[in-house]
């Protein structure tokens, strides 16, 4: 995982290939050739952006929900956890910093994209997919937060791809109802 010019993140098995033993890895850490960032994650620099760590640990995960609205600049509310979508069959993520949302295959892959945030490429759902999720989960998001996000969507209405929205809605139960909410609230 490239972090910038010649800065790398490694997992334990990658280091084992390079250093050949746990002893040699520990020696490299002691000599500050590499730095232990957290359990199983190492870097050749002492400090690493938390999103780079999330990407390294969960390369298959996609940022969603409150985290996606934040990284898309649709809200300034920083979520207390990182919301990650995974395929329903993927392993469970046990972390108090992460809220895992497991999805069916067809929904998991819908609207997946990458953006750059503070120099880190992250897997995230696009704004169109997140608008659908916002309308679907309207009652689970606080009223004020919902209004802030909707208001920011209205400001960006001309940059939204309505064809994508219509295409994505076919995969959701109550797609017509969700479309009505989106029409009323945003367009």
pLDDT (tens digit per residue) in 16-51: 999 999 999 999 999 999 999 999 999 999 999 999
pLDDT-derived band of residue 5, with 50, 70 and 90 as boundaries? very low
Residues 43 and 116 both lie in one domain? no
Rounded CA separation 16/90 (Å): 25
Residues 143 and 93 both lie in one domain? yes
61's tokens: 């995960």
User: Which residue(s) pair with 62 in the sheet?
Assistant: 85
10 Å Cβ neighbour count for 39?
A: 7
Residue 46: exposure state from Cβ atoms within 10 A (0-12, 13-18, ≥19) = exposed
Number of helices and strands (H, E) in the chain? 9, 9
Residues 100 and 8 both lie in one domain? no
Residues 139 and 158 both lie in one domain? yes
- Which residue range is the domain that position 181 belongs to? 56-185
Residues 147 and 120 both lie in one domain? yes
pLDDT-derived band of residue 7, with 50, 70 and 90 as boundaries? low
104's tokens: 């069916």
Tens-digit pLDDT profile for residues 125-137: 999 999 999 999 9
The pTM is what? Answer: 0.89
Q: What percentage of the chain reaches a pLDDT higher than 90?
A: 94
Span 105-118, mean pLDDT?
95
Residues 82 and 148 both lie in one domain? yes
Residues 179 and 87 both lie in one domain? yes
60's tokens: 């298959």
Rounded CA separation 166/183 (Å): 11
Number of domains present in the structure of the chain: 2
pLDDT-derived band of residue 52, with 50, 70 and 90 as boundaries? very high
Residues with Cβ within 8 Å of 29's Cβ and at least 6 positions away in sequence, in order, are: 35, 36, 42
Residues 162 and 71 both lie in one domain? yes
- Give residue 3's pLDDT: 45
Residues 154 and 111 both lie in one domain? yes
């Amino acid at each position: 995982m490239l972090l910038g010019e010649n800065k790398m993140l490694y997992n334990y098995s990658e280091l084992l290939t390079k250093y050949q033993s746990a002893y040699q890895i520990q020696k490299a850490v002691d000599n500050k050739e590499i730095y232990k960032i957290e359990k199983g994650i190492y870097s050749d620099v002492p400090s690493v952006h938390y999103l780079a760590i999330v990407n390294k640990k969960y390369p298959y995960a996609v940022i969603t929900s409150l985290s996606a609205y934040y990284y898309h600049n649709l809200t300034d509310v920083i979520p207390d956890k990182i919301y990650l979508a995974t395929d329903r069959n993927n392993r469970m993520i046990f972390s108090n910093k992460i809220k895992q949302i497991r999805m069916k295959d067809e929904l998991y892959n819908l609207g997946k994209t990458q953006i750059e945030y503070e120099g880190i490429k992250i897997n995230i759902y696009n704004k169109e997919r997140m608008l659908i999720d916002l309308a679907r989960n309207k009652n689970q998001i606080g009223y004020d937060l919902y209004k802030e996000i909707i208001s920011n969507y209205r400001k960006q209405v001309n940059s939204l791809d309505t064809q994508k929205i219509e295409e994505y809605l076919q995969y959701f139960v109550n797609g017509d109802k969700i479309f009505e909410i989106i029409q009323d609230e945003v367009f």
